[in-house]
Amino acid sequence: MHSINTSVSFHSRPNSGLLFSVDNSKKLSGNYMDYLCFRTFCCKGPPPPRPEYDVVCIGLTGSGKTSLLSRLCSEATDNIVPTTGFSIKAVPFQNAILNVKELGGADSIKKYWSRYYQGSQGVVFVLDSASSEEDLEVARTELHSALQHPQLCTLPFLILANHQDKPAARSVQEIKKYFELEPLARGKSWILEGSTVDNMDVVKESFGQLIHLLEEKDQDTGRI
């Protein structure tokens, strides 16, 4: 392949578009290859826009929702405080952007979660796999409620058993059994994965699986 050199020059002329002249010492085919090379590397234009999906993120206070989302956005996590009300983050991935609406997990806020479900295309539920039995039971109840809610029951779910690095953490299989996910979520699109802020590669892979489910649902909707 020929390199681009002064044998191909570009001129603009009023009302006549783009022209290129050919050095008589070069063959026309060589200059054409130069032109194609120039077009390929210099004139590709902007990349196609990534699809965006609106996702709601829920879980009890202390489950680690804010820390995970902040790390995904490359934000500092030194002064993380529990979310009061809700916050929205645009979380970029290679093949999509997730607009994540994180809802606070305090008792005073949980009762209002359903007011923010409308328009969601997917759900992220974060639980503390090292929490007390009492808190784990509350998380189980909230997840069951979300899986059966009319505005969420048909959406893809990503369930993160967070804090897997803590000594008291239950394994993913233990969480799966305790939360009775097999019978409850049968026929639904869901993913259960372990997570920790110390291994964000795994977290990104889990979100990548969620994006795949969102894309599949998009395609299925397009066929209807």
What's the pLDDT tens digit per position in 77-120?
888 888 888 899 999 999 999 999 999 999 999 999 999 999 99
> Do β-strands 122-128 and 52-58 pair in parallel, antiparallel, or remain unpaired?
parallel
The dihedrals phi and psi of 103, each to the nearest 5 degrees, come to -105, 135
Q: Is 11 annotated as a binding residue?
A: no
Is 163 one of the annotated binding-site residues? yes
Tokens representing 56 are: 């709601």
In this prediction, residue 76 carries a pLDDT of: 82
> Does 60 count as an annotated binding residue?
yes
122 among the known binding-site residues? no
Instruction: Quote the DSSP letter at residue 150.
Output: T
The conformational region for residue 76 under phi > 0 = left, psi -120 to 50 = alpha, else beta, is beta
Residue 6 annotated as lining a ligand binding site: no
The confidence score (pLDDT) of residue 136 equals: 97
- Is 59 annotated in a binding site? The answer is yes
Does 31 appear as a known binding residue? Answer: no
Q: Do the annotations mark residue 65 as ligand-binding?
A: yes
- pTM for the predicted model, two decimal places: 0.78
- Where are the strands (E) in 15-147, listed by range? 18-22, 52-58, 86-92, 97-103, 122-128
Residue 165 is labelled as binding a ligand? yes
Does 107 carry a binding-site annotation?
Answer: no
For residue 10, how far is the Cα from the chain centroid?
A: 43
| Model pLDDT for residues 25-63, shown as the tens digit of each residue | 444 455 556 655 555 555 566 667 889 999 999 999 999
pLDDT at residue 120, rounded to an integer: 97
pLDDT above 90 (res 183) = no
The letter for the amino acid at 42 is C
Residue 196 assigned as binding residue: no
Q: What percent of the chain has pLDDT over 70?
A: 77
- Distance (Å) of CA 111 to CA 124, 184, 219: 18, 22, 33
Residue-averaged pLDDT of the chain: 83
66 among annotated binding-site residues: yes
Rounded to whole angstroms, the Cα distance separating 36 from 49 reads 25
Query: Of the segments 2-11, 15-24, 54-63, which one has the largest average pLDDT value?
Result: 54-63
Asked if pLDDT for residue 6 goes beyond 70, the answer is no
What is the rounded distance in angstroms from the CA atom of residue 129 to the CA atom of residue 194?
A: 9
Q: Per residue in 151-172, pLDDT tens?
A: 999 999 999 999 999 999 999 9
